[in-house]
Amino acid sequence: MKKLLTGNSAISLGVMLCRAEVISAYPITPQTTIVEELSEIVADGRLKARFIRVESEHSALACVAAASAAGARAFTATSSHGLAYMHEMLHWTSGTRLPVVMVNANRAMGSPWNIWCDHSDSLSQRDTGWIQLYCQSAQEAIDTVIQSFKIAEEVLLPVMVLEDGFFLSHTSEVVDVPEQNMVDSFLPPFRPRFKLSPEEPHTFNIMADPSMFIHFKHDAQQAMNQAKKVIARVDREFKARFGRGYGYTGNVRMSDADVVLLTLGTAASTALEVVDAYRKRGKKVGLCRLRMFRPFPSEEIGRLLGKAKKVAVLDRDNSLGAGGIVAQELKAALYGTVKKPRIFEFIGGLGGRDITPRDIGEIFNYTMSHSGPDGAPVWMGVKK
């Protein structure tokens, strides 16, 4: 059924359709309305779940991780500082191979104080062992939540679904909300092989000594490798049932593009308009929206971008002392490939600053007019 929904509302309905059994979260802007709506959904009986109030994000994730270990389908949501506060438990959740699904409404990390969108919060957590899927629309957000439970429960890794704070979380769009019976047939109940149960007692997270520890980490890496295939397969299955698929990347006019813009999240919607305008003017530009950041689709992206001469990476984040995180990941992925496009790095949209069509145009113009990058990322809107 089609509804006019914000990203947060779409996500709440997605969690309901997935029949999450335990929800625990601590409110933080711009995630808050997800939790609010879910609490109402649970309170009025539309979803039979335990909604557990906690005093912090660390506890929220500890809570859903424990619920997941006990065999419950568990969901949490957070943003920015809340995600940072979860940092320790992010490692524990993935280390315990618990298929928790979390939505993070992307928001800048302070200081200075800021409640608006950028990707520095979730990209700071790239090494915590979570699958990360970045969404572009409310429709994609609800669909990705549904996909995520299926992916997580198959590969036993937690999934972080990312939505741009306010740009997506608080903007209403028309969303085709899947029917419950369709979701039920797509997503079977969670039946873990091992769970906390008095009938069959296990201690989770017992100590692994130096001889064993590396094996668990290697196994988790194998699972992450496998996740790539599972993510692709689940996306295909989803498309077959619901008519919508997303891939690892969203690609526009890539087949013959000389200059490709690569970015994450809602900025790609803006870029789409610009690409079309430039194409009309005969400029061979294309757009690659990276949806799957973890696992990083190195081989696929290498093949995809190998045809382009130049790639402009727009990072909505910055790793101080290194540059844009997406750009670094991309450069590392392309290192072993034969055909390497030149990488132009742009930092923009930090702390909620709009990325306008004019900004995107500037990025294309700069990239087209320069034979190569001049060594340092270009900071959009900042005078040199």
Partner 1 sequence: MKKKTAKKPAALKKPSVRAKKPVQPEPSLPPMSLSFDGTLATKTGTWRYLTPTYLNKLAPCNEACPAGEDVEAAMVLSGQEDYIGAWEKITRENPLPRVCGRVCFHPCEGSCNRKEYDEPTAIQALERFVGDFAFQAGKRFSPPAEKKNEKVAVVGSGPAGLSCAYHLTSLGYGVTLFEALPRLGGMLRYGIPAYRLPKDILDQEIDQILALGVESRTNCRVGKDVQWEELKTYDAVFVAAGAWKSLSLRVPGEDSAGVMSGLTFLKKVNSGEEVDLGKTVAVIGGGNTALDAARSALRLGAKPLIIYRRTKEEMPAWGEEISEAEEEQIEFIFLSSPLRVLAENGKVRGIECLKNLLGPPGKDGRREPRVIENSNFTLAVDSVISAIGEAPDLSFLPSPLPKSGNAIPVDEAGATSLEKVFAGGDAVAQPRTVSYAIGSGKKAAMAIDATLRGENTAEAIRLARWGGKGSLSMAGYRSGEGDGIARQVVQFPELNTAYFPRQARKPKERLTPEQRKKSFSEIDRGLSSSSALYEAKRCFNCGVCNLCDNCFFFCPDLAISARPDGQGYEINYDYCKGCCICVEECPRGAISVEVKK
Which residues contribute to the site for partner 1 (CB under 8 A)? 95-98, 156, 193-194, 200-208, 212, 215-216, 219-220, 223
Q: How far is the CB of 215 from partner 1 (least distance, A)?
A: 6
Q: How far is the CB of 202 from partner 1 (least distance, A)?
A: 5
Neighbours of 324 (CB within 10 A): 25
Residue given tokens 């149960």 in the structure block: 197
Q: How far is the CB of 191 from partner 1 (least distance, A)?
A: 14
Q: How far is the CB of 196 from partner 1 (least distance, A)?
A: 9
DSSP symbol at 269? H
Q: How far is the CB of 156 from partner 1 (least distance, A)?
A: 5
| Amino acid identity, position 101 | V
Q: How far is the CB of 145 from partner 1 (least distance, A)?
A: 23
Burial classification of residue 72, based on how many CB atoms lie within 10 Å of its CB (0-12 exposed, 13-18 middle, 19 or more buried) = buried
Q: Which residue number, 3 or 195, has a Cβ lying nearer to partner 1?
A: 195
Q: Which residue number, 53 or 215, has a Cβ lying nearer to partner 1?
A: 215
Q: How far is the CB of 295 from partner 1 (least distance, A)?
A: 17
Query: 3-state SS of 68-119?
Result: HHCCCCEEEEECHHHHHHCHHHHHHHHHCCCCCEEEEEECCCCCCCCCCCCC
Q: Is the peptide bond before 369 cis (omega within 30 degrees of 0)?
A: no
Q: Which residue number, 215 or 370, has a Cβ lying nearer to partner 1?
A: 215
**Which of 87, 86, 75, 20 is CA-nearest to residue 47?**
20
- What six digits make up the tokens of 306? 């190998």
Residue given tokens 């890794």 in the structure block: 157
Q: Which residue number, 171 or 226, has a Cβ lying nearer to partner 1?
A: 226
Q: Rounded CA gap, 242 and 177, in Å?
A: 10
- Find residue 181's DSSP bridge partners: none
Element (H, E) at 6: strand 2-6
Own/partner long-range contacts of 363-368 (Cβ < 8 Å, ≥24 apart): 363/261, 363/312, 363/314, 364/259, 364/261, 364/274, 364/278, 364/283, 364/285, 364/312, 366/312, 367/259, 367/310, 367/312, 368/259, 368/283, 368/285, 368/310
What b-and-e string marks burial along 132-154, b requiring 16 or more CB atoms within 10 Å of the CB?
Answer: bbbbbbbbbbbbbbbbbbbbbbb
Q: Which residue number, 44 or 209, has a Cβ lying nearer to partner 1?
A: 209
Q: Which residue number, 193 or 384, has a Cβ lying nearer to partner 1?
A: 193
Q: How far is the CB of 97 from partner 1 (least distance, A)?
A: 4
Q: Rounded CA gap, 355 and 379, in Å?
A: 12
Q: Which residue number, 72 or 252, has a Cβ lying nearer to partner 1?
A: 72
Q: Which residue number, 91 or 342, has a Cβ lying nearer to partner 1?
A: 91
Q: Which residue number, 154 or 173, has a Cβ lying nearer to partner 1?
A: 154
Q: How far is the CB of 99 from partner 1 (least distance, A)?
A: 10
